[in-house]
Structure 1
Amino acid sequence: MSKGTSSVCIGWPPVQPMPAAADRLYRRPSQLRTPRFMLNKGKMPSKQLGFNRVLDGLKKRQLLLDFHFDKAAEVYEPIRNIGVGAFGIVCEAVETTSNNKVAIKKISHASATPTLARRTLREIRVLRYIKHENIVSLRDIFRTPGALGIDVYLVMDLMEGSLHQVIYNENQPLEDELIAYFLYQLLRGLKYIHSAGIAHRDLKPSNLLVNSDCRLRIADFGMAKLASKGHFDEAEEHCFYMTQHVSTLPYRAPELLFVMPEHGTAVDMWAVGCILAEMLLKRELFPGRNVSGQIKILLNSLGKPSDKLLNQIRCEKTRRLIEHFHDACRREWEHVLFVPDRVVGILLLEI
């Protein structure tokens, strides 16, 4: 997508590609001069230290054994595990025919439940047709029989780390130039998928993969969905509203959190603002740990919704919780996001 056009069809009605000029958000990556940064592989953030301990010793070796797939054993040779999520394991591997390193995401028992099957299908359908330098590329797909169903393997580009690692690396200062470059690449990738009517719905630093040359790619499209109401797959959705139980809590937009009808690509832009603030602050902007706590944090920052918006909230429990904070008042962004000498970031969040 060097010219900013989109031809994503993924089995849904075609959408109008965005004009070529729309991709010129700032400057092309080749025109930007950015410093190299080092991913601190020895000292991970606190949220990932426990994750790594789980992979130590026998458990780590056992997980690696799961990648000794039969049919593809002659093509891919697993090296080491590089991540574990709620829906799969990711390992670094070598493509024996070319000696190129790749990342292989294993989704165990992909057909065990309808929810997991839909999530797997979403990611495959989106990645199969999306081609953009700021989005991970799907190189290959294969499957093997598992104990509880089919195991699906997605072969993708290997990246050195995630934006989460960069943000919480104490030895890596995030200068404005670097933040601007990461933000530019994120918006560039989103511009592409949004032009096809697709919302990612799970943007967060750990789903933004980076290399030491500052290149960024958006990953994990398991929650991706067409944002247009008229294009919903009725067999996949029981109603014409996208579920609110998507997106990690600190990055969840108010319309998702308040269980409001119809949402679209705007939820991704909310997440972008949260990610920008996290790069500036080196902490989460809205660090809620449960739904009620997150609602309280948002109301204390943004103020209480208007009566018109309250009437659109379908969940009675959520409405009562919001009304409980009747004295919540909107705060100015310079007070919510106090970062000296970083007025540009505050202005972007205000927009």
Structure 2
Amino acid sequence: MRSSSGEKAAKPAFNRILDDLARRQLLHDFQFGAARELYEARRNVGAGAFGIVCEAVDRSTEEPVAIKKIGHASATPTLARRTLREIRVLRYIRHENIIRLRDIFRIPGSLGINVYMVMDLMEGSLHHVIHGTNDYLEYDLVIFFLYQLLRGLKYLHAAGIAHRDLKPSNLLVNSDCHLRIADFGMAKLALNDRLENSEEHCFYMTQHVATLPYRAPELLFVMPEHSTAVDMWAVGCILAEMLLRREVFPGRSVSAQIKILVTQIGSPSQKLKDLICCDRTKRYIDNLGEHAGWSWDEIVPFEYCESRPEPNPDAVDLISKLIKMDSTERYDVLEALYHPFLKQFHSTRITEGACPFKVKMDMADVEHLTNEQLIDAVIADIRSAADEDYPASTPTNGPHKSFSERKRTTTPSDRTGPASSSLNSSLHSEVTSTDSRESSLSDHASNYVSYLNDRHRLDEKTQITAL
């Protein structure tokens, strides 16, 4: 049935109403206070349980940025702890494959302070790349994304920091295939946990730490969370998802996820069962009975496509080394980097610096602060961070003034922003290749831009920043 002329006339008016509502919501969500002179909010681009993100413009440089708002960050201990973790990780870290904190400020709210974190704007996430169309990723792209993820983790794990919430939507990408790890609200210094066997602790561990399809058994079963191996399990799940275009362990509840893992990977050994801190979880696993598990060809079946006509046994082998029920048997980040699946990069010498020791020291304190101490620490960290210089991870055309300096003088001449980052320049500035294999792969990644854009993987409507 054809629409009437009245309906056609009403549609633009309705769209204008929606646009006006969106603008009003944006102004309501992002009230920048004194920082309004520095940043202009353009549109909301993401929302989650712990914050919202808008695309904005840095008025002094006209650069697009992402601004993450953590509303009422001091209202609850959970929000305050997440906020403090993210600030303390991102304040000092400068790495090509980790999202960069450019600025930070706070504004009083009705239920506590609102924290605003200014970061680089990325065009999309790995989730959009994987699930944006019905096409499978070529092996070269899978390898390249995996390599960058492992580079970022190598930097973090060297300081003993576990991300604890790795998933495709927290891996941000640009159309030049540059990948950055984001969302450090669950990040934690490994080896600083205390074992508990209480219903409250069991509930927290099974509901709040890591997203279910990427949650390692030691988190899911409530075992001692004792190493950065929780991230390596997630890397295996992400690699499988890049190959399959679906979650490899798609549980939608804790009990369903436990059943999937026990059925497909096999029942945990008695040694692992003895480590489970939650009696309820231990009883549930016992009630599932004994399972031998599936073969890896059944867990990660080969899917034929023109861009990937042959199976890659190395990919499945690496997944099998990462997805181990026993975390002590799981590949660490260096073992993964030197696996044959990443042989294109085995002649590459990484010359990046070490993660600052200050991050490790600050993260060690976060978990033991009281509610009042958490709030005080968040305010103190924001105040001191706002007075710091935030150097770009790539060369800039001039100095970057801190937020407190820019509040006093905000003319465009005061600061020249960082040059736009590209895969072939910024990534290679830290990596020295001894042959042409890496350059040929990165060239292939750059040529892939048109392939992504043609299929609307990273179009304007799907720009996001992870929360």
Q: TM-score, normalised by structure 1?
A: 0.79
- State the match for 2:63 in structure 1: 100
What is the alpha-carbon distance in structure 1 between the residues aligned to residue 22 and residue 230 of structure 2?
36
What is the alpha-carbon distance in structure 1 between the residues aligned to residue 50 and residue 317 of structure 2?
37
C-alpha contact (below 8 Å) 2:69/2:116 kept by paired residues: yes
What is the alpha-carbon distance in structure 1 between the residues aligned to residue 272 and residue 211 of structure 2?
23
C-alpha contact (below 8 Å) 1:166/1:172 kept by paired residues: no
Number of residue pairs matched by the alignment: 288
SS of equivalent to 2:147: helix
Question: CA offsets, 1:111-170, max 9 Å, x none?
Answer: 000110010010000000111000000000001111211100000000000000010011
C-alpha contact (below 8 Å) 2:136/2:243 kept by paired residues: no
1:263 offset after TM fit, Å? 2.5
Corresponding residue to 1:60 among 12, 15, 22: 22
**Gapped runs of 5+ residues in structure 2?**
1-17, 195-199, 304-310, 322-467
Please give the residue correspondences for 1:61-210 in structure 2 after superposition, counting only pairs within 5 Å: 61-65=23-27, 66-170=29-133, 173-210=136-173
- State the match for 1:345 in structure 2: 315
C-alpha contact (below 8 Å) 1:123/1:224 kept by paired residues: yes
Please give the residue correspondences for 1:18-33 in structure 2 after superposition, counting only pairs within 5 Å: none
One-letter amino acid of the counterpart of residue 174, structure 1: L
1:261 offset after TM fit, Å? 1.4
One-letter amino acid of the counterpart of residue 226, structure 1: L
1:172 offset after TM fit, Å? 5.1
C-alpha contact (below 8 Å) 1:256/1:263 kept by paired residues: no
One-letter amino acid of the counterpart of residue 159, structure 1: M
One-letter amino acid of the counterpart of residue 26, structure 2: L
What is the alpha-carbon distance in structure 2 between the residues aligned to residue 59 and residue 345 of structure 1?
47
C-alpha contact (below 8 Å) 2:205/2:220 kept by paired residues: no
SS of equivalent to 1:73: helix
What is the alpha-carbon distance in structure 2 between the residues aligned to residue 58 and residue 332 of structure 1?
55
What is the alpha-carbon distance in structure 1 between the residues aligned to residue 25 and residue 187 of structure 2?
27
What is the alpha-carbon distance in structure 2 between the residues aligned to residue 350 and residue 112 of structure 1?
42
What is the alpha-carbon distance in structure 2 between the residues aligned to residue 144 and residue 350 of structure 1?
47
What is the alpha-carbon distance in structure 2 between the residues aligned to residue 206 and residue 262 of structure 1?
23
1:225 offset after TM fit, Å? 0.4
- State the match for 2:191 in structure 1: 228
Relative contact order (C-alpha < 8 Å, sep 6+): which is higher?
Answer: 2
Percent of residue pairs identical: 65
One-letter amino acid of the counterpart of residue 170, structure 1: T
Deviates more, 1:273-282 or 1:339-348: 339-348
One-letter amino acid of the counterpart of residue 238, structure 2: I
1:328 offset after TM fit, Å? 1.6
1:243 offset after TM fit, Å? 4.5
Corresponding residue to 2:298 among 309, 320, 335: 335
Structure with the greater alpha carbon radius of gyration: 2
SS of equivalent to 2:102: strand
- State the match for 1:312 in structure 2: 275
What is the alpha-carbon distance in structure 1 between the residues aligned to residue 276 and residue 21 of structure 2?
45
Closer, same or farther: CA 246–59 of 1 in aligned 2, 3 Å: farther
Matched, 1:273 2:243: no
Q: TM-score, normalised by structure 2?
A: 0.60
After superposition, the CA RMSD in angstroms is 1.8
SS of equivalent to 1:263: coil
C-alpha contact (below 8 Å) 2:152/2:181 kept by paired residues: yes
Matched, 1:216 2:186: no
What is the alpha-carbon distance in structure 1 between the residues aligned to residue 135 and residue 295 of structure 2?
29
**Gapped runs of 5+ residues in structure 1?**
1-55, 233-237
